[in-house]
Amino acid sequence: MSTTYRPDEMAFAGGIRCLLFSAIASIALHFALLAPANAGETINIGLVPSEDAEAMAAQSRPLLEALRQSTGYEFKPFVATDYGGVIEAMRSKHVDVAWFGGFSYVLAAELAGAQAFAVPVPAKTGISAYSSCIFVRADSPYKDLGDLKGKTFALVDPSSTSGNMFPRALLKMHGIEEAEKYFSRVIYSGSHNASLLALKNAKIDAVGSNPEISLNNMIRNNQIGADELRKVLCSDPIPNSPFAIRSDLPGQQAEKIKAAFYQIKDLTFAEYGKLEEFKKAQDSDYDIIRDVAKLMDLDLKK
């Protein structure tokens, strides 16, 4: 499990700003191992693991091989430890294509010129969207947000869409302006898996995560029983995490990469499991996240 830290040590908005600065130092060594962007036929592709970097690299191989066969390019993965690392890698032109979460994509569009172009459609849902929910243990006495006042709460990462931004927005929509003042303790666990396991093991009273991807994946892997957790509150649909391309990548190269994604069918990728396809995506699909950012008084340019 990733190291947990309290939001009273790093405020929410400040944490997002600090994320990119800390990422620069943490990924410098990784950059040294990457081929320069656009060097020959190599395409550097940025990924963020849901739990384990080595597992993410392994899970990405079928996708990278399919892209190689379709384009003739070599796709080299860069697996960062957090979203900020991938944003900085694209801003510095060390990656050409990257897989972002919804919120981190909006940040990358502002800070790194990222352009969303493809979104995965999992076979198990058949839709390119998911939700963010506040969960409790099924055997707990907590039925609504009022029951959770003064309890403990876990979020995932400052730049997580369904594990931080939307849970905080859900709280605000129900009159709870500051999670840190409403709950007795709020932590960032570092990953959806860590949050959900902490809840399962009664280390925390409630968590913010998503049922369609993270929870279902853990149920499928027998890490959590289907009847162990209960939803207290859920958001409206959020578009799935997109693949985005650098806006300054040569047009012919960019179009070739995009076409390769759209040709992929019935491929297994990351926590989504088997995919039906990659659906076309565009920047405006993520305006719902920008709207929530406004609700949360976040200035994405800062």
What residues does 114 pair with on adjacent strands? 246
Please measure the distance between the N-terminal and C-terminal CA atoms of the chain and give it in whole angstroms: 30
Range of the domain at 17: 13-127+240-295
What tokens were used for 205? Answer: 């009273």
Considering only CA atoms, which of 55, 57, 62, 36 is closest in space to residue 46?
57
Same domain for 36 and 100, yes or no, is yes
217-222 contact pairs (CB < 8 A, 24+): 217/50, 217/271, 217/272, 217/273, 218/193, 220/273
The CA-atom distances, in angstroms, between 270 and each of 62, 208, 294 are: 10, 20, 31
Over range 189-214, report the average pLDDT: 95
41: confidence class by pLDDT, cuts 50, 70, 90: confident
Distance in angstroms (rounded) separating the CA atoms of residues 19 and 300: 13
Asked if residue 116 and residue 262 are part of one domain, the reply reads yes
Going by C-alpha positions, the residue among 105, 82, 163, 18 that lies closest to residue 288 is: 105
Pairwise CA distance, residues 266 & 137, whole Å: 34
Residues 189 and 220 in one domain: yes
Shared domain check, 201 and 182? yes
The answer to whether residue 302 is domain-embedded is no
Q: What is the pLDDT of residues 130-149, one digit of tens each?
A: 999 999 999 999 999 999 99
231 shares a domain with 250: no
Given a contact cutoff of 8 angstroms between Cβ atoms, the answer to whether 15 and 23 are in contact is no
**Tokens 């990278």, residue located:** 64
Residue 3 counted as domain residue: no
Q: Is 152 left (phi over 0), alpha (psi -120 to 50) or beta?
A: beta
> Does one domain contain both 189 and 207?
yes
Distances (CA, A) of 107 to 19, 102, 182, 220, 289: 11, 9, 27, 31, 10
Q: What is the pLDDT of residues 52-92, one digit of tens each?
A: 777 788 889 999 999 999 999 999 999 887 788 899 999 99
Q: Is residue 246 domain-shared with residue 269, that is, in the same domain?
A: yes
Write down the pLDDT at residue 235: 94
* pLDDT tens string 83-137: 888 999 999 999 999 999 888 899 999 999 999 999 999 998 899 999 999 999 9
